[in-house]
A and B are shown apart, each in its own frame.
Chain A
Amino acid sequence: MSEGIIKIDKQKTSTFLDKVKEIVPDGNLNLCLTCGACSSGCPATGLENMDPRKFLRMAAMGLDDEITGHPWVWMCTMCYRCTYACPMNINIAALVFEARKLWPRETRPKGILGSCNMALRNTSGSAMGTPEEDFRFVVEDMLEEVRADQPGWEELQAPIDKQGAHFFLSQNSREPVTEPEEMAPLWKILHLVGADWTYSTTGWGGENYCMFLADDEGWKKITNTTLQTAMGLGCKVYLNTECGHSTYSVYAGQKKFKIETELEIAPMVKYYAQWIREGRLKVNSDWNKDLKIKFTVQDPCNQIRKGWGDTLADELRFVTMACVGEENFIDTYPNKSNNYCCGGGGGSLQNGYKDARFYYGRLKHAQIMETGAPYVITPCHNCHAQIHELGEHFGGGKYRSLHLWTIIALSLGILAESERTYLGPDLAEVNLPGY
């Protein structure tokens, strides 16, 4: 890679940027004022001596050779924080996405590639390759366990392939494969509100690493399978588990690939908030009145900035405060749609550039430390994992990440001992179900 003189050919040839402009005509890629707002706000600025402005500038100058194969494209999480403040609304993430395609498929980061390939192996859509029937087995097995071990939950349901259910629920593979007990709190919540819901065996996987791999075909296939399944079951709402990228992959994929559907594609948090407001989910924060344990939240970029904006961010806070008490909620800053990406997005958890990922996450870490909260509620699997790791790496375990379902179930007094893996000792015995 040459850092030297740039020679511009007199004869204009089609460049990488030209191609991207054709693919993303509304990306404003020509409009750059080189003002630097993007790079000022980007946690990946400086990694590999690169930043969003420089990357776009290189593309604009036709330095395609230097862009091709540049590792920075995997370090950028495509979180859109650059675009959020860009005066010209330039879609840099789209440029990075297309630049990922400049890598021959087999040379792209192994972890992401592997996860995508796994998901394409069968129709489950699971990045862990878990086949359809294995999923049914795990769910039923887990359900049996809860019914048997947890008094009062003998009637708990975890429907699969239920025709006509209102909600279609996807499921991130992490729970069924590595920690099935983590599925139970959400089932209980759904049970309490009387939701008519179903899993499916086909297309149940709530993740999409093909999107991160910039494999449009794969992305489309997974999104299509899961949406077709939901439609086939006659569902009305496509409900994503607490997973940012999966929500976005379906939400954005449906539009990008023009998949016709009347399904409402919704993030889980929206319904938690609705059910609390309707009085169907009777959470309360009395358990924390004296404990005064502090909580903060992480706004997943894929759901908030790239999805439903501050409206959903406010819902996330509403739900959190309802569960932990308003006085025990401490917000980060910047937050909501202008939140810093934690560094776990864009496939980075599997891209192999671990040091870069921690460097990226340093701003998120500093923000969390500033709140002093020992718990970060993260309604997203990638955020959850990254923040968990940040806490270990930088913070010496000073904070832990939690799914929202954990804290909802805790506040309802229905969180069993076995479902408290992510809670610290201070909450190990708080508000245990009274059996």
Chain B
Amino acid sequence: MNLQKTTEKTGSVMVVGAGVAGIQASLDMANAGYFVHLVDNSTSVGGLMAQLDKTFPTNDCAMCVISPFLVEVGRHLNINIISNSEVESLEGQAGAFHATVRNDPRYIDIEKCTACGQCRQICPVTAINEFDCGLDLRKAIYIKYPQAVPLAYAIDRSACIGCGLCEKACLAEAISYADTPRRTVLNVGAVILSMGSSVYDPSGLDTLAYGRHPNIVTSLEFERILSASGPYKGHLMRPYDREIPEKIAWLQCVGSRDINRAGHGYCSSVCCMYAIKQTMIAKEHVSTPLDAAVFYMDMRTYGKDFDKYYTRAKDEKHVRFIRSRIHTIEPLKNGDLNIRYVLESGDVQEETFNMVVLSAGLSPPPSAIALAGRLGIDLNAYHYAQTADIRPVNTSREGIYVCGAFQGPKDIPQSVMEASAAAASATETLADVRWTQTKVRELPAEVDFSGQKPRIGVFVCNCGINIGGVADVPAIREYARSLPHVIHVEDNLFTCSQDTQEKIKQVLVEKGINRVVVASCSPRTHEPLFQETLREAGLNKYLFEMANIRDQNTWVHMASPAKATAKAKDLVRMAVAKAAYIEPLPQVMLDVTNSVLVVGGGVAGMEAALGVARQGYQAWLVERGHQLGGMARQLRSTWQGEPVAPYLSDLIDAVHRHEHIQIFMETQVVHVTGTIGNFTTTLVTQDDEGKEKSTVIPHGAAILATGGHEYAPTEYQYGAHPSVMTHLEFDVAATKQDNRLLSAKLAVFIQCVGSRSAERPYCSRVCCTHSLKSALWLKTINPDVQIFILYRDIRAYGFRESLYQKAREAGVQFIRFESENPPVVSLTPGDPSEPNSSRLSLTVTDHILQRPIILNPDLVVLASAILPNENKKLFEAFKVPANADGFLVEAHAKLRPVDFASEGLFLAGLAHYPKTIDESIAQAKAAVSRTMNIVSKTAIMVGSVIAVVNPERCAVCLTCVRTCPYGIPRIDPEKGHAVIAAVECHGCGVCASECPGKAIALKHFTDEQINAKTDALFQAA
């Protein structure tokens, strides 16, 4: 599909790297009116996340969470997945780039391959399974993992011996040994780089003996060991002898925070958390007690709910956390591993472990570094894409954006957030060409079958020989013919192949079939495909039922063909029985209000409003105070040293000037009604004379950016001495060149003031970085100042570690204290006649010397906690939840970090969790991108598989209200029964199964349908 190069702006975009960030960016843009080319150098999408077993801090199964995204991106009409490909060059400029993409051969025709797996069974060559980190083998013809998208095999030609067996076995004739690289030129308006990260290879660190002993594994290898789809099928065993380990050690910072052997000065941001996760999951995997010990320097659990996770591991799961970096691992003859380590007291310990996991850091993939070179974008000292804090997803080349771990080591939610932010930024200048390159599927009108009896067609798939080679497919087919309402049966070599689809369409029309049953494989992978065929033949897509006679039958009963045939008949009978009762579920089209309400006039709120406006839609910006800017008004600089004040004044100016933004100052939200696409919100504005004025705003979506504030300390003589100040006060004083700062000879920073306490069991995330930055600033204005930072863990995550290194270089001393033994600040009274003449004295115990240190500081800076702003009424009006700490709760901690569970509502900034300015900006832009999925459309389709309430049976018991994981059902006081908004319902069915009065039915899974199916199960064949 070589295109003509154009110089005109195009509504197509290119995303390079199809990990979780690339997928999110692609979906956001494709759903907001752009055609997306998603390029990846692997045979399938999914990236690193697909290899993970579970994800922190919820311990969700990674594959279960990402799988729906894989399917969606794989089937999206406006996403063109270009796998096995590299971007060779990029010419042109922003708006009109020409990308040359080299598509490397996979020697399999994706269009023809049905992933039946016959080739794999016959392939005589084994090769290393890279997906399982080499802990397992695969065939030379392979699929990366069962849920891979595109779901097609590939031939590893470095292993393939060219025997030709697969070619003979492939009934779909998909093998193409003669495949050669192809080049394609794509016209794209913008490019997003999301090439992710590779995991540091510790082979170079001889002291850790990785590669010398099988029981020393990397953290990624351990993920595969834990994974149910991994080399040991989820049984925790050590590689050396497949024994169940009783004692495992995790070693942190392998390849991170190491400028000596590893040459990586930065923190990899994710390893502390994944190590904690692995300790807990590992303990769950074995029935015998497992001793888990984590050796670390600083425990960096700085994210939302991370500290609680850490505490749970420590206190409830009895994971041992030992603050010591391991020098050497000594393998013993029986496969065990000896570790000699020193405690902070200086005492030497020696322990033997059955297995050691190296918490390997992240590093940019060499292929990504090479691509960055070809594209001419700047990289930082660590070879990651260089970005500025105030433009966190922009690369140095206009029109090229970056997100995810290629911008810097980060976890999944931060990657997903940035992916949406990059989507918003990349499309900002393409707003006028939105919906110009997208495809729309032209579909015939749905035939109305109402009043007709069921006329069922049954299609039985041989799946090559996957089914037909085991079960007697003709017998199954003929059996189906005998079932009630069946008017057509046939069997196919591959029911899913392109030509069969065409034939099915003809048959449906010719025979007037109004219900379709396919007996083949898994609905997970194939249901959407068959539904599409139905739709193209004019049938509602819900007039479809599937019987899985492969994965759940012939694959597991390969040795018992007769039983497999009988079971297939049972499954077909059940599907036909249900099919007789299924109904069309038409979707309703709702108009959308193309504007967005933004609540909160801080950086996040203003960036959000400006983002919406720049996308060409109206933004309503509501601020309850009398000035815009929020907490940023007091901040001096970003962590990379970019000044905040000029950025903020430009932002305020831009918000004021933009024609698509209307600002409501001193205004509160008092009432919200409506659902996604159509909200109506009442605002009340206080005018100068204190009079209230109401405004009613219609909007399609809303972004809550209600901000946070600094904790007012009660500790450490705060308030009793003018030289004891908070972070923000320090910044303000610095801006004013306050003499308390300039003349200080000895300054002390105390960390975790009000954070990580019983009252606020969370880390405020920004304080370590802020203290480091402030200390360095003090050193620049007065190199002779002595500075002490008293801390619990230095949490300078990512590249912020460089500030920590610079601070130590500059002579800042770091003393660690335990929460039980905090520093003590006291006042020595001065001259009673002179105000403020009392002197400060501070005692803290040095963690290494274990002796008290007395300091007489003339400046004490308290790293006070960040608290969410109090907004109970507002949150209630929007019906959005806040957690125990008062922060807003997102829909999903991992993959929906800016969405609320209620559709159409989004969040950004400090209201979500403490974060730095760059992170707030990224989250605000992400929220903009998420709203574009709604407001860029003229209408949205709602309905289909949803729960519906039968008002007559509803006893208003509130069970549905309480059990719904999305908080959708509510009691309508006027109607006197529960109401479930069709537009919001996720169709999970929890309410339907819990409702004691059987007042709720889940469409497509009604009692009648399920009963028909189960009744059929127990009928004799």
Binding site for B on A (CB under 8 A): 3-8, 10-12, 30-41, 45-46, 49-51, 53-54, 57-58, 60-61, 81, 83-89, 310, 333-334, 336-338
Contacts and interface: CB of A to CB of B under 8 A. Distances in A.
Contacts of A46: 346, 348
B749 interface: no
B851 A7 contact: no
Interface string B727-767: 00000000000000000011000000000000000000000
Contact of B846 (A6, A37, A84): A6
Contact of A338 (B328, B348, B849): B328
B340 A6 contact: no
B331 A6 contact: no
26 contacts: A3-B851, A5-B853, A6-B854, A12-B786, A30-B809, A30-B811, A31-B259, A31-B808, A31-B809, A33-B257, A34-B816, A34-B848, A36-B325, A38-B327, A41-B327, A46-B348, A50-B346, A51-B342, A53-B342, A53-B848, A54-B849, A61-B846, A87-B253, A87-B257, A87-B262, A89-B260
**The 6 residue pairs across chains A and B that have the minimum distance between CB atoms:** A41-B327, A35-B325, A89-B260, A87-B258, A37-B325, A39-B342
Contacts, number: 136
Given A4-B851, A31-B259, 16 more contacts: A3-B851, A6-B851, A6-B853, A6-B854, A12-B786, A30-B810, A33-B325, A34-B814, A37-B324, A41-B207, A45-B348, A51-B342, A61-B849, A87-B258, A87-B262, A337-B206
B853 A61 contact: yes
B206 A338 contact: yes
B344 interface: yes
A84 B261 CA distance: 8
Given A40-B341, A85-B261, A334-B207, A12 B784 contact: yes
Contacts of B856: 8, 10
Interface string B329-355: 011000000001111101010000000
Interface string B244-285: 000000000100011111100000000000000000000000
B786 A54 contact: no
B855 interface: yes
B408 to A, nearest CB: 20
A57 B848 contact: yes
A37 B327 CA distance: 5
A311 to B, nearest CB: 13
Nearest to B258: A87
Nearest to B812: A30
Contact of A88 (B259, B324, B331): B259
A8 B848 contact: no
A32 B816 CA distance: 13
Contact of A36 (B324, B786, B805, B814): B324
Contacts of B805: 31
A244 B775 CA distance: 45
B297 interface: yes
Interface in B649-686: none
A36 B257 contact: no
A356 B784 CA distance: 40
Nearest to B842: A8
A46 B341 CA distance: 12
Given A34-B848, A87-B257, A10 B745 contact: yes
Contacts of B788: 8
Given A5-B854, A87-B260, A39 B346 contact: yes
A54 B846 contact: no
B858 interface: yes
A4 B847 CA distance: 14
A45 B346 contact: yes
Interface in B171-207: 206-207
A51 B848 CA distance: 11
B500 interface: no
A40 B340 contact: yes
A40 B206 contact: no
B961 interface: no
B121 interface: no
B722 interface: no
Contacts of B431: none
A53 B327 CA distance: 13
Nearest to B208: A85
The residue in B206, B260, B813 that gathers the most chain A C-beta atoms within 10 A of its C-beta is: B260
A205 B389 CA distance: 62
Contacts of B376: none
Interface string B830-849: 00000000000000001111
B260 A88 contact: yes
B328 A6 contact: no
Nearest to A310: B206
Nearest to B253: A87
Interface in B187-232: 206-207
B327 A40 contact: yes
Contacts of A60: 813
B882 interface: no
B982 interface: no
Given A57-B846, A89-B259, A8 B253 contact: no
Contacts of B955: none
Contacts of A61: 813, 846, 849, 853
B852 interface: yes
B313 interface: no
A305 B297 CA distance: 25
B855 A11 contact: no
Contact of A86 (B260, B330, B811, B854): B260
A336 B206 contact: yes
A131 B331 CA distance: 50
B41 to A, nearest CB: 32
Contacts of A81: 327
A63 to B, nearest CB: 8
Contact of A40 (B325, B813, B848, B855): B325
Contacts of A87: 253, 257-262, 325
Contacts of A3: 851
A10 B746 contact: yes
Contacts of A38: 327
Nearest to B344: A36
Contacts of B811: 30
Interface string B850-874: 0111111010000000000000000
A34 B346 contact: no
B175 to A, nearest CB: 47
B808 A30 contact: yes
B789 to A, nearest CB: 13
Given A5-B854, A6-B853, A87-B258, A32 B808 contact: yes
Given A3-B851, A5-B852, A6-B851, A85 B846 contact: no
Contact of A85 (B259, B328, B814): B328
Contacts of B262: 87
A8 B855 contact: yes
A11 B785 CA distance: 9
B853 A85 contact: no
B942 interface: no
A45 B784 contact: no
B375 interface: no
The residue in A8, A46, A53, A89 that gathers the most chain B C-beta atoms within 10 A of its C-beta is: A8
B326 interface: yes
Nearest to A46: B348
Contacts of B348: 39-40, 45-46
B745 A11 contact: yes
B324 A35 contact: yes
Contacts of B813: 60-61
A34 to B, nearest CB: 5
Nearest to B341: A40
A333 B854 CA distance: 44
A8 B848 CA distance: 16
Contact of A45 (B342, B808, B855): B342
Contacts of A11: 745
Nearest to B343: A36
B745 A12 contact: yes
